[in-house]
A and B are shown apart, each in its own frame.
Chain A
Amino acid sequence: MNDTTPETTPSQTVGPYLHIGLHWPNGPFVVAEDHPGGIWIRGTLTDGAGQPVPDGLIETWQADPNGRFDHSDDPRGAASYPGFRAFGRCDTDERGEFGILTLRPGAVPGPGDTVQAPHIDVSVFARGMLHRTVTRVYFPENTEANAADPVLSGITDPRARSTLIAEPATDGYRFDIRLQGENETVFFDI
């Protein structure tokens, strides 16, 4: 430990050439394509004019289907789940689209005796963004759990809250991310 407290390093934009630095061919695959129970979470990243953002990057982090993390800072202890990476990364294509193949997360304990509804944390990076923004994906079928979720229920405007609920799709869910404008996605101060 140092005596002096070092100050944090500022964020900068990923810039227009993030694709060369941050593209992972296996990034979207939180689980392998043939993994049972895999769901695609697909969406379009759009700007304040409704135009697609082709130079963006989406990252996801979530609990496994049992609501556990393979991480020692979880007071319940680290728990691994076979074939599951928990982390996803996908740069947007020329139509602003992204997709992550993953498993449905389980519920996760919240503060006190609360329970957090199944959710996925999402980071959004792009040219024109000097800092990442953070949002969460929730699932439409978990009506009761979503209503009791300590984070979701903290958003008072129902229309804003609805931007965090994914829509059912044929192979999983759709979760569009609108950086600005009508139906702007709720972003978090993290």
Chain B
Amino acid sequence: MTTTPQGNEKHAVPGYVRDHGTHPPLDYPGYGSTALRHPKRPLQLLPHLLTEVTGPLLGEGPIGELDHDLTRQHAGEPQGQRIIVHGRVRESDGRPVPHTLIEVWQANAGGRYRHTGDNWPCPLDPNFTGVGRTITDAEGRYRFVTVRPGAYPWKNHDNAWRPAHIHFSLFGRAFTQRLVTQMYFPGDPLFFQDPMWNSIPDEKARERLLCRFDYENTQPEWALAYEWDIVLRGRESTPFESEVDDD
């Protein structure tokens, strides 16, 4: 339910929860590339005003029939373990996020991206691009079909390997809700040395990036299923009050 603006506060709008404790810091020495790419000045508090509580509603955009199926974008099928990745997108107040765009990208089964910057010695798969998108349904549900991505080496530290992951990008309904993240698979032995995973301060929050093996939705003689729910920031329960008025 939305808050009805009252009296002089005719443009008062409910803000969104500030979930600082959930996210990794911008300065994280374990991930070397953060060194020159994090602001050193303290961030300036931005109240949630009209530009922040609105956002692009991209649910009506042109989505191809096969955009959610990364195994059917070429003449043949890609190599690797075929998987279904599905789940729900909700806000932290429990409401589903319907009709919102989700974009994904990933490495192939051997751990190589179809990107000019990725040239480690693992073959590209002519039948796999590794890019998909979909729109959540009225209940906030989404579903992709793909192959399980491989782990791959990188140069952050000695013998560094990224755990298998799929990149996810989400919009929600408001500029405040924009989220880009990565989904991981349960039981991956590479987490202990992965700075992306370990940059999230709270262990319980890290585990929210893990999908769950879903036997119930595993399709006989076709594909394993994994379920992953995504939670975007929800609204604060009280309307925003003029915090910027103080001196």
A-side residues, CB < 8 A to B, are: 1-2, 4-22, 47-49, 51, 53, 55, 59, 61-63, 69-71, 73-76, 85-87, 108-114, 116, 119, 121, 123, 125-134, 136, 150-151, 154-155, 160, 179-181, 184-190
Contacts and interface: CB of A to CB of B under 8 A. Distances in A.
B52 interface: yes
Contacts of A188: 43-46
A114 to B, nearest CB: 8
B126 interface: no
| Most chain A C-beta atoms within 10 Å of own C-beta, residue among B23, B46, B196, B232 | B46
B138 interface: no
A186 B41 contact: yes
B230 A9 contact: yes
A131 B26 contact: yes
Per CB-CB distance, the 5 closest pairs between chain A and chain B, nearest first, are A21-B105, A128-B33, A111-B242, A188-B46, A87-B56
B244 A151 contact: yes
Contact of B181 (A9, A85, A154, A179): A9
Contact of A132 (B35, B114, B180, B245): B180
A14 B58 contact: no
Contact of A112 (B52, B130, B245): B245
Interface residues of B, number: 90
A53 B49 CA distance: 30
Contact residues of A: prevailing secondary structure: loop
A110 B26 contact: no
B2 to A, nearest CB: 7
Given A9-B231, A17-B118, A53-B37, A111 B180 contact: no
Contact of A5 (B94, B114, B209): B94
Interface stretch (B171-179, B185-193, B215-223): B171-179
Interface of B: 2, 5, 8-13, 17-20, 22-26, 28, 31, 33-41, 43-58, 90, 92-95, 103-105, 113-115, 117-118, 129-131, 167, 169, 173-176, 178-182, 196, 199-200, 204-206, 208-209, 229-233, 240-245
Contact of A20 (B33, B114, B209, B242): B114
Given A10-B209, A21-B105, A21-B167, A189 B39 contact: no
A179 B36 CA distance: 8
Contacts of B230: 9
Contact residues of B: prevailing secondary structure: loop
Contact of B57 (A9, A71, A131, A151): A71
Contacts of A186: 41, 44
Contacts of A9: 22, 179, 181, 208-209, 230-232
B181 A47 contact: no
Given A9-B179, A9-B181, A108-B49, A179 B38 contact: yes
8 contacts: A7-B92, A13-B31, A21-B131, A61-B51, A87-B55, A128-B31, A154-B244, A179-B36
A155 B244 CA distance: 11
A112 B240 CA distance: 11
Contact of A17 (B105, B196, B233): B105
Contacts of B39: 133, 179-180, 184-185, 187
Given A75-B11, A127-B33, A189-B45, A184 B113 contact: no
B150 to A, nearest CB: 14
Given A8-B232, A12-B180, A63 B40 contact: no
Given A5-B92, A21-B169, A47 B37 contact: yes
Contacts of B93: 1, 5
Contacts of A131: 23-26
Contacts of B50: 63, 69, 74, 108-109, 116
A112 to B, nearest CB: 5
